[in-house]
Chain A
Amino acid sequence: MSSEWILDKNHLSYWLRQLRKEADLIGPLRKPGGDIVFESIERIHEIFLDLPALIPGPKEFLFPQYEKLFNKRDSKVEELSIKRKRVVFGVRSCDVSAVRLLDRFFLDRFEDPFYSNRRANTLLISIVCNNPEPTCFCAGIGTGPYLREDYDIQLTDLGERYLVQAASKQGIRAIKAYSFIFSKPTRTDYDDQFEVQLSAMARFQKRISLERVRSMIITGKVRDTFWEKVATRCFECGGCVYECPLCTCFTVIDRVFGDEIERARIWDACLFKGFTRLAGGVLPNERMVMRTKRWYYHKLVHYPEVIGSFGCVGCGRCTIVCPAKIDMATVAIKIKALADNEEKIIEQKE
């Protein structure tokens, strides 16, 4: 189910203003200090689309860093679930791909009601990345720079107009209600889209095949000495985990405010030493290398086995935040170099 239209850029703010009447409109804003944040949009013209490489992902809107779950007073427990309607504008393709995987994680088996409520009420409007950042490597994974399916609404910037594609009921509804500002795409529009996509693909500076890396790992070609080297560099800051749109570990805390008790969940990180601590202080993953391996194995080996996709969408955030330069892309490139070396050695032997 995909339907396509053309939206003149002059009509974008009208459209967003209409959408804001039914939902909280969230989009990228530039703060006075220069930081980009995704926030409720008061004035449409303030939406800032010239995004830098490191932007906050939509994870925050579906699975916030600090999320209140329950409030207890006397013997009554109140469920603090958010059901407010939201439109998140300006999301990147890789982040939409990440949400698709989060859906499977949070909604399969035991359905997470807090995620589910937020998700059911969130419409994502993503914009094709015509100009990928040097840190991006979604193209090799198939999670960007544009999406073929499974998005809500996807915009492709064609200069003075957008090609608008909708692939969900909610997305189509958000367009059909204002159909008078949307027109039918022509052959030229599709030609332009094709050109933009080609040029975007050509601009990637990083070409990484996680499949290659995965097969190296599962065939035992990546030794523990390699992981030891990676692990000794880690500062255990957790930056990669917090930034990653697919890292979902959390801890639960109770806080007492007078006669009210709040139970909340907050982001946690498997890279922290105490993460698996058992009563009595036993630490199953005491050595850093075990935690580093756990992170990489989870994303590169177990995710594909359990969910059928990598636990990485190639957004490059960990590359930007990791002070130790042991992020996904760097590690993947190093592992690939091991593979290339091995091939050379084999060739020499032959």
Chain B
Amino acid sequence: MKRRSSNRKNNIYLPIKGRIESIVPLTEDVNFYRIRSEKPLSYGVGQFFMVSVWGYGEVPISVCSLPEKPEILELSIRKVGFVTNAIHRLKEGDELWFRGPYGRAFPMELSINRDVILIAGGIGLAPLRAAIHWLIKHRKKVRHISLLYGAKTPSQLLYREEFTQWEKEGIKVVLTVDSPEDGWTANIGVVTTLWHHIDVDFKRAVAYICGPPVMINASMLDLYRFGMPLSNIITTLEAHMKCGVGKCGHCYASEKYICTDGPVFSYEEIKRYRLL
């Protein structure tokens, strides 16, 4: 019986300490956190961290920034339950621990010399914000960029202050809501009613999608019908996660651990492994 000699440098479950540098409320229940890490970080678009509040637990949260400054991490967190409520009770200057990054990143290089469609629902814009920052950084190498973004109400749209900046960079931002509020002039309905707003060559474009499962399914199916290759339709899936490293079993679905094999998958893989 062979014993494997340990090749680990550190404990995969041990979080590192970060400090909350600033908190910006984005909506009624979503806060934006800028965190300063004790150690330099490197991460890709679409990867996530296990964020922990000692005494409460850990939750998976996607990064919504690019690793431009190696000690800075930006997260947008919606208050929905036990741990996320504990995070929302923290103040600027408090500790927030985290470990990662985990999971596969978005294949951003697919967007080079292509039209790009970003499709987001609700908090799903968080990981795509990092993708948008990447596309802006590589703007010259990418063709048309469109963002189709939907939320329940106008006040639940994230990053509203950044939209003008994104539009300045040549990103077509198309918004929609389920229920309008006073002064809302844009669309009403689900994101899949917005296709006619964008002018793209679907057969050669690439799409990055994040949102609730119904939205992901409907968007992927439409894009497929429009002739987009299955391997160019990219999404990221949500699952209950307790470890992030393929051990706890919670995220396991059809042979795949969403945490390590995903959370980013192409439509081709989703169909092959029946993940949705």
Interface residues of A (CB under 8 A from B): 69-70, 72, 75, 77, 79, 81, 96, 100, 103, 105-107, 109-114, 116, 119-120, 124, 150-152, 167-171, 248-254, 256, 261, 263, 265, 268, 270, 275-280, 284, 294, 297-298, 301-302, 305-306
Contact = CB atoms under 8 A, between A and B. Distances in A.
B1 A248 contact: no
A75 B1 contact: no
Contacts of A251: 242, 248, 250
A137 B57 CA distance: 41
Contact of B255 (A81, A106, A167, A305): A305
B242 A110 contact: no
Nearest to B11: A113
Given A70-B14, A151-B1, A249-B249, A279 B81 contact: yes
Contacts of A302: 255
Interface string B39-54: 0000000000000001
Contacts of B1: 96, 100, 124, 150-152, 167-168, 171
What are the 9 tightest A-B residue pairs by CB atom distance, in nearest-first order? A249-B249, A110-B245, A279-B80, A168-B1, A302-B255, A111-B8, A113-B11, A261-B54, A256-B55
Interface string B1-14: 11110111001111
B115 interface: no
Interface secondary structure of A, over-half rule: mixed
A262 B163 CA distance: 43
Nearest to B247: A112
Q: Which of B243, B250, B260 has the most chain A CB atoms closer than 10 A to its own CB?
A: B250
Contacts of B2: 150, 168
Contact of B249 (A268, A279, A280): A268
B247 A270 contact: no
Contacts of A306: 255
B62 interface: no
B6 A116 contact: yes
Given A151-B1, A279-B84, A298-B252, A113 B247 contact: no
Nearest to B3: A120
A90 to B, nearest CB: 16
A294 B250 CA distance: 12
Nearest to B238: A278
B242 A250 contact: yes
Interface string B242-270: 11011111111101000010000000000
Interface in B214-260: 238-240, 242-243, 245-253, 255, 260
B133 interface: no
Contact of A250 (B54, B238, B247): B247
